[in-house]
Structure 1
Amino acid sequence: MQKHANKKNSLVYTVEEETELLPFLLKVMPNRSRNSVKSILTRGQVTVDDHLETKHNYPLKAGQQIMVLKNKAAIKQDQLIGMSILYEDDDIIVINKEAGLLSIATKKEKQQTAHNQLMEYVRQQHPQNRIFVVHRLDKETSGVMMFAKREEVKRKLQDNWKRIVKERTYVALVEGKVEKPKDTIVSWLKETKTHLMYSTEDNQGQKAITHYKVIQSNQDFSLVEVQLETGRKNQIRVHMNDLGHPIVGDKKYGAKTNALRRLGLHAKILSFHHPTTRKLLLFKADVPTSFIKKSK
C-alpha cells in the first residue's frame, strides 16, 4: 500500500509503482465508489507533484506525490482549485497559479479557469463584483499572476504596464547544460498563421529582450532564472529555444524531453507599484521542487 499522510484539507499519497491516475486513486481510496473517485478527478481536486491533473489515464511513475483535496474543503464556496490567493484589496487580486490551470476561458474550457473561479469568489461578497484580466500565464506555466477588480484599474495597469511593473522574474528548467553563466537575448518576434512565435533579426515584429542567469545545472538540464525586459507572447519559450536549450516539456518550441510532465516554466516574482496607492509590492511563488531536483 502506498504511504499516505494527512495535510490540512488534503490527503497525500506517494506512488510506489508505475500505474495510471484513476486506478491509483481507486486503490488508495477503497471506500469510495468508482463514480465518486471520477468526480474528484473531474472537479480538479487532484494534483500530481505540483501539477493539477484531471485525466483518468494520466501515467504515474514511482516516487511521484499525489495530493487529493478533501471533499469538505472542495465544496466550500470560497475554495479555489489549482491556485491560491497571495494578496487581495479593493483594486487587485494576486494569485499563485498551478500548472494545468487556464488563466482565462477557451472554446474548449470555460468553467475551470482562474478568471472564472475568481469571478465566482468576488461575487460571493457582492453579485455585481467582477474580475478583469490584466496579463496571462500559459496553461502549463505556474506562478504569480495578477487580476484587477475594477475596469479602470485594469486599464491603468495595462496602459502603464512598463512603468508600473518593476520586476518579472521566471525560472525555467531547460534541456542540456547552458555553458554561458549569464547573458541577454535580443530579437524581434513575429507570429506565423498557425500562432507560432519566432525570432527575426531584421527589426521587424516586436522587440523582445530577455536576461538570464544559470542557477544550477547538470549534463541533462539547467535551471535558469529569467528576467523579462519586454513581455511578448511566448517570449521566454522562443528565446530559450533560440539559445539551443528549449524549455523542458515545450514540444511546440523544440523540446525533446518531458521530464516534468509539464512545461518547465514558473513565474517566480512579480513586483509592481500599486495602481492606486503607488506603494511598491513584491509577490513571490516558490520554485517547484521538481525543477530543483532535475537540475541538481
Structure 2
Amino acid sequence: MEVNRIEIEEELAGTRLDRVITMNRPEISRTQIQQWIKDGNILVNDQAVKPNYRVRENDCIVIDEPEPEELNIIAEDLNLEIIYEDQDVLIVNKPRGMVVHPAKAHASGTLVNGLMYHCKDLSGINGVLRPGIVHRTDKDTSGLLMVAKNDIAHVSLVDQLVEKSVKRVYLALVHGHIPHNNGTIDAPIGRDEIDRQKMTVTERGKDAVTHFKIVERFKDYTLVECELETGRTHQIRVHMEYIGHPLVGDPKYGLKNTIPFGGQVLHAGTLGFTHPRTNEYVEFTVEPPEDFQTLLNEVRNSVDK
C-alpha cells in the first residue's frame, strides 16, 4: 500500500474530509475517496470517521491507499460504434439493450467488455468493473457516452459533470399531449421507500433539473427533447412520469397500456464538453437508432395523428 499523510492547516479547518483529500489527490474521484473512508483506509488522528467529517486544524490524515486490483473483465469484440477517439477521451454510441458495466447478472456483453477489447488505456478511477466510465445510461437507452482514457481526463470530465457544464440532450417519446412548447422540471429525486428498485420525486431526494422542449406532437404522444442540468438516476424517466407524461415503453415508470418497444423510447443524441487537454468545447450528435426512427414513422403515419 502507498501511505500518504496530510496535516490540516488553519485555512482548511471546517472543510469536509472527502473534499480535503480530493483537493490533495485530484486524480482520485470523490466516490472512490468516500469508499476508502468507509473501508477504513483513511483515518483522522488514527480514528475512523465519516466522509462528511469536518477537519480541524492540526488534524493528521493518513491514507493507506489499497493496491489496485487487477482487471478481471473479459475483453469482447462487440463491434462498438466509436464516434470519436484521441489519447484522452473516447465517445461511443451505445446501442439499446447494452448494459454499461458488468455485474453478477451480466458479466459479459457490456459496454466495458467491449471497451476492454477496443483499447487497453482506460482510467482506473472507478475500479475494476467500470474502467474509464465517467457517466452511464440505462440498458435500454441508446446514444452517446464519454469514456476517459486516463485519470487526468477522468477527473476533468467528472468535475464538468459536477459543475453542470456538460451538455447532454436526449430525445424521448412520451405519452399524452403536452400543450406548452417548453418547460423546466425542478423536482428532487431519491430512492422510492416502497420499491427500492425505483426512484421517485421526494423532498428527501437530491436536486434534479430537466429542461424540455417539444419536437413534434401526435394525437396520443409527444416527441420531446430533454436537456439534463443534473444527472440523477432515471432522471428523465422519473421527471416525465412526475408531470404526467411517462416515456413510451418504460417498464418501470410507464403505463401498462403502452407501445411494445422492449424498453423506454429514449436516446442520448447530443453530448458536449470541454476537452480535458485542449480546453476547447467539443460537441457530438448522433441520430436515434433504426428501431427508434421506425417507431416514430409508424406513429407519425398513423391515422390517429
TM > 0.5? yes
Task: Indicate the RMSD between aligned Cα atoms, in angstroms.
Answer: 2.2
Residue of structure 1 equivalent to 2:9: none
Q: In the TM superposition, what is the alpha-carbon distance from 1:277 to its structure 2 partner?
A: 1.2
- Name the residue aligned to 1:265: 266
Corresponding residue for 2:47? none
2: distance between equivalents of 1:183 and 1:129? 37
Distance 1:166 1:94 in 2: 14
Deviation at 1:295, TM superposition (A): 4.2
Alpha-carbon distance, 1:106 to partner: 1.8
Counterpart position of 2:232: 232
Corresponding residue number in structure 2 for 1:41: none
Show structure 1 runs of 5+ residues with no match: 1-76
Distance (Å, rounded) in 2 between the aligned partners of 1:170 and 1:139: 15
What amino acid is the match of 1:293? N
TM-aligned CA distance change 1:261 to 1:195, over 3 Å: closer
- Which of 73, 82, 87 is matched with 1:85 structurally? 82
- 1:281 and 2:279 correspond: no
Aligned residues: 214
Aligned to 1:215: 215
**Whole-Å separation in 1 of the counterparts to 2:90 and 2:222:** 32
Structure 2, unpaired ranges of 5+: 1-74, 125-130, 301-305
The alpha carbon displacement at 1:113 in A equals: 0.7
- Normalising by structure 1, report the TM-score: 0.67
**8 A Cα contact 1:84 1:97, kept in partner:** yes
Query: Residue 152 of structure 1: CA displacement?
Result: 2.8
Matches within 5 A, 1:25-40: none
AA aligned to 1:259 is P
Could you tell me how far apart the structure 2 residues matched to 1:164 and 1:182 are? 20
Residue 293 of structure 1: how far off its partner (Å)? 1.5
Q: Which amino acid aligns with 1:87?
A: Y
- Following superposition of structure 1 onto structure 2, how do residues 171-250 of structure 1 map, counting pairs within 5 Å? 171-192=171-192, 194-200=196-202, 202=203, 204-250=204-250
1:55-83 deviation line (CA, Å, top 9, x unaligned): xxxxxxxxxxxxxxxxxxxxxx99534x4
CA distance 1:199–1:271, shift in 2 (3 Å): same
**Partners in 2 of 1:184 and 1:172 — Cα distance?**
15
Distance (Å, rounded) in 2 between the aligned partners of 1:196 and 1:250 = 12
Q: Which residue of 2 aligns with 1:117?
A: 114
Q: 1:223·1:295 contact (CA, 8 Å) conserved in 2?
A: no
1:292 matched to 2:296: yes
The whole-number CA distance in structure 1 between the counterparts of 2:119 and 2:216 is 41
Tell me the distance in 2 between the aligned counterparts of 1:190 and 1:164: 19
Contact 1:222 1:295 in 2 (8 A): no
Q: Aligned with 2:245: secondary structure?
A: coil
Output the CA distance in 2 between the equivalents of 1:294 and 1:209: 31
Matched, 1:98 2:118: no
Cα contact 1:211–1:226 (8 A) shared by 2: yes
**For residue 133 of structure 1, what is the amino acid of its counterpart?**
I
**Shift, 1:129, TM fit:** 8.4
